[in-house]
Amino acid sequence: MSAPTSSEAPLEWTPPPTGGRLRAIICIPLGVLWCMVNLPWMIFLMACRRRYFEEHRTRITSLWGRGLLKIFGIKMVLNGVENRDIEGAKILAINHVSIVDLFIYSAAWTDHGTMIYKKEFDKIPLMGRVMRMIGFIPVDRSDHRSSLKSMAEAATRIRETGLSIWIAPEGTRSRQGGLQEFKMGAFYMAMQTGAPIIPCIMRGAAEVNKMGSKIIRSGTIRIDFLEPVETKDWKRHELREKSEELRRLFLKYLPPAPNTSTLEDYERRDAEIAEKATAESSAKAAEA
């Protein structure tokens, strides 16, 4: 993992070429072995030496993720970590690209943090148990009521403990590539807690783990942590607008998913609204 930088995030960034398929296949058993060795060890620490685990939780979680990055030959470039590391509770809003995200964000872990994850991960032997024991919060995307309950639990923990939480506003990864429309869970959570949102722009993961492939190639992934978005004064009726504003920001750096709103769509709608407002204003002036 390269040293963190603090330059302005470039709108355009092209990752270096990825490694070959053969190397990626050879690394699969090594990655599985790393998990088989480390996950039982983490369970042991959490069950038998809980205090030690809590004291070193960030380092242990990061070590697991960085180990997998090393095995698969993935270089991670972090930019704007001063935004990620602001004091107090925060919501780290991420774009969800592939299965690689789990150990990418584990490697980029922040102190006293947790993560919202899909309940389907609970089916993975040992990993699901570790994620729950660490304090990650599962969300059942197929059950709206259960999903709301998980979000409410996360909001409570943020308020009471000053927790930092990683969450993907898209809800799930795109099956066709590109940035999907944002769901409202992260924005309700922000309104309930007043915690700032840190936009986290990840690029390069789609090249390392291509859509629909189980092969993880060597390569470079870049994460830009943008300036915090304050949420203390947000109102419920504004949340849809706030979600669109954040998605517009992401779209400056990322392509949209097929059949979703583009920056041009948003700009065209803004122009239509402004034109309509001008026409109505002119009509009222004429009537007067």
Asked whether residue 13 is assigned to any structural domain, the reply reads no
Q: Which of 158-172, 247-261, 264-278 has the lowest mean pLDDT?
A: 158-172
The pairing of beta strand 90-94 with beta strand 113-118: unpaired
Asked whether residue 256 is assigned to any structural domain, the reply reads yes
Query: What pLDDT shows up at residue 30?
Result: 95
Neighbours of 150 (CB within 10 A): 20
Asked whether residue 178 is assigned to any structural domain, the reply reads yes
Asked whether residue 134 is assigned to any structural domain, the reply reads yes
Asked whether residue 170 is assigned to any structural domain, the reply reads yes
User: Structural domain tally of the chain?
Assistant: 1
Asked whether residue 2 is assigned to any structural domain, the reply reads no
Asked whether residue 15 is assigned to any structural domain, the reply reads no
Query: What pLDDT shows up at residue 70?
Result: 96
Query: What pLDDT shows up at residue 156?
Result: 82
3-52 confidence digits (pLDDT tens): 555 567 899 999 999 999 999 999 999 999 998 888 888 888 888 888 88
> Does residue 1 carry a pLDDT above 60?
no
Range of the domain at 183: 21-269
Asked whether residue 14 is assigned to any structural domain, the reply reads no
Neighbours of 184 (CB within 10 A): 15
139-184 confidence digits (pLDDT tens): 776 666 777 777 777 788 788 778 888 888 998 777 778 999 999 8
CATH code, domain carrying 149:
3.40.1130.10
Sequence-distant (6+) residues with CB within 8 A of 224 are: 9, 79, 80, 200, 201, 203, 253
- Say if CB 84 and CB 42 are below 8 A apart: no
Tell me the whole-structure pTM to 2 decimals: 0.87
Query: Closest by alpha carbon to 82, among 136, 7, 15?
Result: 7
